[in-house]
Structure 1
């Protein structure tokens, strides 16, 4: 992880409301270059809204979001497009296109779905599938012909194909059994390290958070109430974090 540099992502007092409901109520979070951070928290606590605000898919009501020191909130569309080009995304459930073969799914971010330079795109797809442990024998298959674990790997190959500087992982182990989930966690960890990217993950899976992240932050009631190294996740000293990670019904979270 780099030091003495601008944060790769910095959120300062970010507020987002939907009508009378305040989902983000002053979120402060910084992610350093090359760092892997996981945001944990219950359903409906604003994890996905946080990602959408960073991607400028949602506009905060107030606060600041910077990527490499550049302000996103209020930026022009052309500036936002340049910033978005730094991001890769592994969507919850994979979100592959069943109408396209695997090779076109993997290179979708490079072609925007258009049939451009098919021979070159197939080579790029093959290279990135190899990075996630898949062979060229699946290039022409449709996603619905693959197992859930293989679909997740294809989605991961798609996320890294444009060589982004930052990758978002949205519940990366959803729908996988514990063994395949652990394999995906190992794969993500090695890819983040090998590619030197910055990673931001949102997850309910504590095993995933502990394996993927250098640092974990917990979002509750629209605020980051705790953050610390992954080794302190089960020894945080915070009753909200303790209840959440241990999955207890009794505690301050209702």
Structure 2
């Protein structure tokens, strides 16, 4: 295992006015590791993710990707770093005006002169990896079920062969069976790519299946981080209440 973390957050802080959303977050994620971040709505998970993606500048602290601090990079240099990223958005974020094959290859078309036939072949290859075939290539996202849309979005996330993949609530809106299918796909695809993965989720079944380690954010701080097998035996009352979904406890 590399001595240099793939992603390293050190003292990351961010406030919006008087609201301190992140308060000294520190995490190190090894190459090839899958980390899941859990926590209440408003605990800072999405803000942390946006900081790593370079969409929000933190007020303090550093974010290192392969040892490079990205917090002060120019937009041009940040674009170079983002080329390492793949992203599965919570709602899929597919373009309804484009057929499936153009959605899947969207990130591959910028600045590249490739024929439609080549793009369709790439799309089909990636769709097959998520259990879909050529029959959906020319369909619009609106013609697909929610589970199929999620698979198309996953195919788009892996098409550029990213080194790091971010998953934002990947099972939201899916029934338990389809959610488990997506969890299995994420696990196998991340392993096949040898990618590093960061997942934000409220789904405890997803957290336990996808992650090597789980971290919990509470009031802008990481209050616990450990192996997924210890999630239900953390010894932390905040974590215990959250993962068990209890109304009674220290979280109000």
Alpha-carbon deviation of 1:114?
9.1
Check the 8 A contact 2:2/2:30 in 1, yes or no: no
Q: Secondary structure at the match of 1:186?
A: helix
Cross-structure match for 1:21:
19
Mapping of residues 1-254 of structure 1, within 5 Å: 3-112=1-110, 116-254=114-252
Q: Distance in 1 between matches of 2:71 and 2:196?
A: 21
Unpaired runs of 5+ in structure 2? none
Q: Secondary structure at the match of 1:172?
A: coil
Moved over 6 A (4+): none
Alpha-carbon deviation of 1:4?
3.7
Alpha-carbon deviation of 1:144?
0.5
Q: Cα deviation per residue 1:73-131 (whole Å; 9 max; x = unaligned)?
A: 11122221111000000000101000000000000011149995211100000000000
Q: Distance in 2 between matches of 1:184 and 1:244?
A: 23
Q: Distance in 2 between matches of 1:28 and 1:190?
A: 28
Relative to structure 1, the CA distance from residue 113 to residue 239 in structure 2 (aligned partners, 3 Å threshold; closer, same or farther) is: farther
Q: Distance in 2 between matches of 1:48 and 1:115?
A: 35
RMSD of the alignment, in Å? 1.2
Relative to structure 1, the CA distance from residue 171 to residue 103 in structure 2 (aligned partners, 3 Å threshold; closer, same or farther) is: same
Q: Distance in 2 between matches of 1:240 and 1:117?
A: 53
Alpha-carbon deviation of 1:237?
0.5
Alpha-carbon deviation of 1:5?
2.4
Check the 8 A contact 1:98/1:142 in 2, yes or no: yes
**TM-score, normalization by structure 2:** 0.98
Unpaired runs of 5+ in structure 1? none
